Amino acid sequence: MKIGIIGSGSMGSGIAQVAATAGHEVYLCDKNPEALVKARDKLLKILNRLVEKGRLDDQESKAIFGRIYFKPDFDSFGDCGLVIEAIIENLKIKKSVFKELESIVSKETILATNTSSLSVAAIAAACENADRVIGIHFFNPAPLMKLVEIIPAIQTSEKVVQKSSELIQSWGKLTVLAKDTPGFIVNRVARPFYGEALRIYEEGIADFATIDWAMTELGGFRMGPFTLMDYIGNDVNYIVTETVFTAFYFDPRYKPAFTQKRYSEAGYLGRKSGRGYYDYSDGAEKVLPNKEEALGNQIKDRIVAMLINEAADALFLNVASAKDIDLAMSKGVNYPKGLLAWADEIGIQTCIDRLDHLYHEYHEDRYRCSPLLRRMAKAGKTFYHYA
């Protein structure tokens, strides 16, 4: 099967590398010629680095690169079996692209969007044959991240869902099935990791370094929330937060933080700008955390309880299965363990008590406990049954 990819940024190029490594002919399209040249040079550099590290031999590297064709238009997509769009998160632009695609590709071609937070149903509505449109959401960097979210729109045929899942799995990826709701699994469930950390900072409970220390050293996360936001880019992370907040009809649980907005407005975007929550310039003084264990556990327990609540609510509202939610969070964003399994470990009632404590203190709807947690505690149930 020939694969078409629209958008030669880091995500589009990464997906192209994955597909070409799996043996497909790939047509990587970008209407910006400079972006195409940049993508070509960057991809060649990545493949050469893999050869240097011994992960590929020179022949494999050349074969992968030789299977990727850099194109300025969609004309080569006529006989592609799958086309994946990986462009800017703008619904109007995406719909325009899908409408144009339909006049070029065959009737059997699957049209996929790599959107991280927009409605797949709305994108599919731009097509006459909406049943062949699906969300296939990779995580950055696509060649390294194992997880891919498969998101059928309400219009998507079951055949397209099955074929898409099998194809992506054949590329060595783990797929999870998610309902077409804002943020899908990962970008929905992960919101409190950032949002509650920002809230703790805004309340003056702890600084960036202390919160990050609590989540890595005591919580077992690979990166603290502020280090991770600096890595992702404050502008990107803020836009996703704002999109999810708006899409959920301004549910207070997803409310963006003024701190992140101001840092974005100031151009403190993180590593890519040299300054974010931390200063990445040469010779910058490293901020040391307050390693008071009681404070660290307070921070960790609060953020983890909010994450568990979000995961439980996603299950309650049938966004995905318990297994797929835990797989998504452990493989998609490298959480130390699945959140629902973590809830079992902590104790369902303990999670409820922590959430209720926050709700009684603040009387804010963002701290409301998922009905599923209350029902499970009442029935003495856990998310998983152990032999």
Tokens for 75? Answer: 């004309």
Catalytic residue among 8, 13, 187, 370: 187
Reported CATH class of domain 185-387 = mainly alpha
Reported CATH class of domain 2-177 = alpha beta
Residue 165 a catalytic site member: no
Catalytic residue among 61, 76, 116, 164: 116
What is the phi/psi pair of residue 233, to 5°?
A: 110, 120
Supply the pTM of this predicted model. 0.93
> Which residues of 133-221 form beta strands (DSSP E)?
133-138, 147-152, 174-177
pLDDT digits (tens, 9 = 90+) for 161-210: 999 999 999 999 999 999 999 999 999 999 999 999 999 999 999 999 99
CA distance 355 to 349: 10
Catalytic residue among 149, 196, 309, 310: 149
Catalytic residue among 8, 119, 137, 165: 137
Residue 273 a catalytic site member: no
Which of 137, 140, 135, 46 has its CA nearest to residue 334?
140
Q: What is the pLDDT of residue 215?
A: 98
Residue 187 a catalytic site member: yes
147-152: strand order across its sheet: 68-71, 26-29, 2-6, 80-85, 110-113, 133-138, 147-152, 174-177
Cβ neighbours for 234, distance < 8 A, ≥ 6 positions apart: 260, 263, 264, 268, 269, 270, 276, 277
Length of the chain: 387
Residue spans of the chain under pLDDT 50: 386-387
pLDDT digits (tens, 9 = 90+) for 224-252: 999 999 998 999 899 889 989 999 999 99
What's the sign of the alpha-carbon dihedral 368, 370, 373, 374? Answer: positive
Q: What is the pLDDT of residue 61?
A: 96
The partner residues of 175 in beta bridges, in order of sequence, read: 148
Q: What is the pLDDT of residue 65?
A: 97
What's the sign of the alpha-carbon dihedral 162, 81, 138, 259? Answer: negative
Q: What is the pLDDT of residue 387?
A: 32
Q: What is the pLDDT of residue 132?
A: 98
Q: For the chain, which residues make up each domain, given as ranges?
A: 2-177, 185-387
Q: Find the helix packing angle between 371-379 and 293-316, rounded to 10°.
A: 90
The partner residues of 83 in beta bridges, in order of sequence, read: 4, 111
Residue 293 a catalytic site member: no
pLDDT digits (tens, 9 = 90+) for 32-53: 999 999 999 999 999 999 999 9
